Amino acid sequence: MKLKQKIVAAMAVVVLCLSGIASAVELKLYCNPIEEPYLRECLKDWEAQTGHSVTFMAATDSSTDTLALYQQQLAAGAHEIDVYQVDSIWPGMLANHLLDLLPYSADREKLHLPSVIDSNTVKGRLVSMPLFVDAGMMLYRKDLLEKYDVPVPVTWGELRDAARTVMDREREAGNPKMWGLVFQGRAYEGLTCCALEWIDSYGGGLIDADGKIIINSEQATAALAEAASWVGTITPEGVLNYAEEEARGVFQSGDSVFMRNWPYAWALGQEDNSPIKGKIGIMPVPKGSVDGKTSGCLGSWGLAVNKYSKNHEAAADLVFYLTGPVGQKKFCLMTSHIPSVISLFEDEEMKNANPVVILDLFMNTIPRPAGITGTKYNRVSNEFYNAVHAILSKGGEPAAELQKLENTLRRVSWGGWN
């Protein structure tokens, strides 16, 4: 350690002691191993300022396995881990074991995108803070739209027409593999995200903020009927087995005009070995109608404090430092992730580093109903994406499938969501 750093660290310890704050502690943080080196770098200044130290524990490669590990530890009341990195759909499932951060926040949660804070709040308790965000978005071949003088679409109807026009012209020009649109159509969580966007863009929903089941509606029926019409026309039937990477593979190979995916796909599409480098445009998920709304499903990862930790104050301070403007900016610049701090969307250094940092794309995000459904969210999502998959594969009519889904969700919710 350099002399200056040693002096700063020593002074921090002295300040802590003089101010009456508890002695410096060693905190343990569970995180994605891919992000550990970046978090470690971000925390150097915080460690020097506070005198605390952080030991990193690597989570598993599988988010499903990581959740199971967290649940096992927390159910046992284990106190050894102070801070957990959590997916945006986990707070409702883990809330009873997580510290309410509001008493430590000093209103710092108000610096973030409101929808992201909502997804981290369970029954009025702020149980985690966002480290970075994702939101569903549309990527498109701006070179092909320009080539055929097709405007960037605003509604799903306009996208359908644009996709058909460019797809047909490209096939006539000698590219028989060209499709109009690809997305995540496999029966899994990714389809839940896509379908929530479609339905919300038409003004419908799955479960509202009060826990009411609202999926059986004219808006949801219209949205899913529209999506089903794409399969086999502008979208390959194989989309029914696509996750994120399968969709990206088709789009990045140059064989689709539009793609619904997450911001990471833009960065990979711009790499030197990408056939479509410099040819990609970014747009919001389309509206259901001219009077409708754009809607990107929220995906994010945050940091939560273990309720059983013996270091609540230091752990909460760590969380608010990493998720605050300084810590989050440093982290997102290194990782190309999207910030949740609103002011960072106007930060020139952030915008120059990652053109996906566009405030309009992230202000209209829709969270999955994980907070309200709590431990039952996985069942809700499973029933939802299977019903949507049946509609897309023409195995069921939208109205009939949504009626069955409503009945099933009523049984799932029996006795309350949590």
For every residue of 167-236, DSSP letters joined together read: HHHHHHTT-TT-EEEE---SSSHHHHHHHHHHHHHTT--SB-TTS-B--SSHHHHHHHHHHHHHBTTTB-
Note the pLDDT of residue 21.
Answer: 45
Note the pLDDT of residue 23.
Answer: 80
How far is it, in rounded angstroms, from Cα 365 to Cα 360?
10
Using DSSP, how many helices (H) and how many strands (E) does the chain show?
A: 19, 12
List 371's β-bridge partners, or say none. Answer: none
Q: pLDDT band at 304, cuts 50/70/90?
A: very high
Q: Which helix (DSSP H) or strand (DSSP E) does residue 279 occupy?
A: none
pLDDT in tens, 106-151: 999 999 999 899 989 998 999 999 999 999 999 999 999 999 999 9
φ/ψ of residue 26, rounded to 5? -100, 120
Residue 1 pLDDT > 90: no
Q: What pTM value is reported for the model?
A: 0.85
Percent of the chain with pLDDT over 70: 95
Residue 4 pLDDT > 60: no
pLDDT in tens, 59-115: 877 788 899 999 999 999 999 999 999 999 999 999 999 999 999 999 999 999 998
Largest CA distance in the chain: 77
φ/ψ of residue 155, rounded to 5? -110, 165
Token representation of residue 409: 């969700």
How far is it, in rounded angstroms, from Cα 114 to Cα 93?
21
Top pLDDT among 267 and 418 is at 267
For residues 29 and 56, is the Cβ–Cβ distance under 8 A? yes
Residue 175 DSSP label: -
pLDDT in tens, 306-330: 999 999 999 999 999 999 999 999 9
Mean pLDDT of 203-227: 96
How far is it, in rounded angstroms, from Cα 407 to Cα 409?
6
For residues 273 and 350, is the Cβ–Cβ distance under 8 A? no
List 338's β-bridge partners, or say none. Answer: 133
Look up residue 156 and give its amino acid: W
Residue 238 pLDDT > 70: yes
Note the pLDDT of residue 14.
Answer: 43
How far is it, in rounded angstroms, from Cα 164 to Cα 173?
14
Strands annotated E in 111-234: 121-122, 125-126, 129-135, 137-141, 179-182
Look up residue 160 and give its amino acid: R
CA-to-CA separations, 235 to 63, 172, 182, 226, 251, in angstroms, rounded:
29, 17, 6, 12, 12
Token representation of residue 177: 């593999």
Q: What does pLDDT average to over the chain?
A: 92
Q: Which helix (DSSP H) or strand (DSSP E) does residue 191 occupy?
A: helix 189-201
